């Protein structure tokens, strides 16, 4: 592999883990439990990658602040019922192992909580490959650049040597705000046209295409 980049930062949900549909279903089920208006799939998918409270503000915009704890509890209830069934995208584990063997620094920047990410890293078996991670309950939510800025500081890598890889406009805007290049995973939560409008280095339609792009260009 070439060495254009030193640090590769991956989003988790919708980029490595095939979880977008489960997140949408949990949001809609939580709204149903609380007799709230049920968002359309597109509206619910848009919030994937955000911190949970920012996600609720968008998905359920008229929800009073005092009802947030109930909404969070119901969302977590429904998501965790199926969390153990979720799988990495085909080829994701092999790609991460290959990148680690090639000497890249690997990190995760996610809208998950720390508890949720740690659980996902253990269950997926990928935890040992990542040198650092940041979660939505530790930093400002995407698209604020704090996650990337802290990862670059921790691993001593400059923005020009860092690549953000994600499936949402929140990921790509976070990269732009941090002065970092980005790749778009167009098989995830957000429409390809919305991702492409933010001018990523490439728009990738499946994991194997991403792995090949990284072999050739990273």
Catalytic residue among 13, 18, 54, 167: 13
Which of 54, 45, 75 lies closest to 188 in space, CA to CA? 45
- The answer, yes or no, to whether residue 29 has pLDDT greater than 70, is yes
Determine the length of the chain. 218
Coil/strand/helix, residue 110: coil
Predicted confidence (pLDDT) per residue in 95-137, tens digit:
999 999 999 999 999 999 999 999 999 999 999 999 999 999 9
pLDDT at residue number 58? 83
* Pairing relationship of beta strands 162-166 and 203-204 according to DSSP bridges: unpaired
Catalytic residue among 11, 18, 54, 171: 11
Active-site residue 13, yes or no?
yes
Predicted confidence (pLDDT) per residue in 131-182, tens digit:
999 999 999 999 999 999 999 999 999 999 999 999 999 999 999 999 999 9
Confidence of residue 12 (pLDDT cuts 50, 70, 90): very high
Q: What tokens were used for 99?
A: 């990148």
- Domains in the chain, please, with CATH? 7-18+87-217 (3.40.50.1000), 20-84 (1.10.150)
Residues 6+ apart with CB under 8 A from 3: none
Q: Measure the CA–CA gap between 48 and 197, rounded to whole angstroms.
A: 18
Q: Give buried/exposed letters for 137-148 (b at 16+ CB in 10 A, else e).
A: bebebbbbbbbb
Handedness of CA 116, 117, 118, 123 (dihedral sign): positive
pLDDT at residue number 47? 87
pLDDT at residue number 204? 97
Handedness of CA 74, 75, 77, 81 (dihedral sign): positive
Task: Give the E-state strand segments of 31-176 in sequence order.
Answer: 105-109, 132-134, 162-166
Q: What tokens were used for 21?
A: 């549909």
Name the packing angle between helices 146-155 and 169-178 (round to 10°).
60
């Amino acid at each position: 592999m070439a060495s254009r980049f030193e640090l590769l930062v991956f989003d988790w949900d919708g980029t490595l883990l095939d979880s977008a549909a489960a997140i949408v279903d949990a949001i809609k089920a939580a709204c149903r439990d609380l007799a709230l208006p049920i968002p359309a799939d597109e509206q619910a998918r848009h919030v994937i990658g955000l911190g949970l409270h920012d996600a609720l503000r968008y998905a359920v915009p008229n929800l009073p602040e005092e009802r947030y704890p109930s909404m969070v509890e119901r969302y977590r209830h429904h998501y965790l019922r199926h969390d153990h069934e979720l799988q990495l995208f085909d080829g994701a584990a092999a790609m991460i192992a290959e990148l680690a063997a090639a000497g890249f620094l690997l990190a995760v920047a996610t809208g998950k909580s720390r508890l949720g990410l740690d659980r996902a890293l253990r269950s997926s078996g990928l935890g040992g490959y990542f040198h650092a991670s940041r979660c939505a309950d530790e930093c400002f939510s995407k698209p604020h650049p704090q996650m990337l800025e802290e990862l670059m500081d921790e691993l001593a890598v400059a923005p020009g040597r860092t690549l953000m890889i994600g499936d949402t406009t929140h990921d790509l805007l976070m990269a732009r705000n941090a002065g970092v290049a980005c790749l778009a995973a167009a098989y995830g939560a957000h429409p390809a046209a919305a991702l492409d409008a933010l001018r990523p280095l490439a728009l990738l339609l499946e994991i194997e295409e991403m792995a090949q792009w990284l072999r050739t260009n990273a």
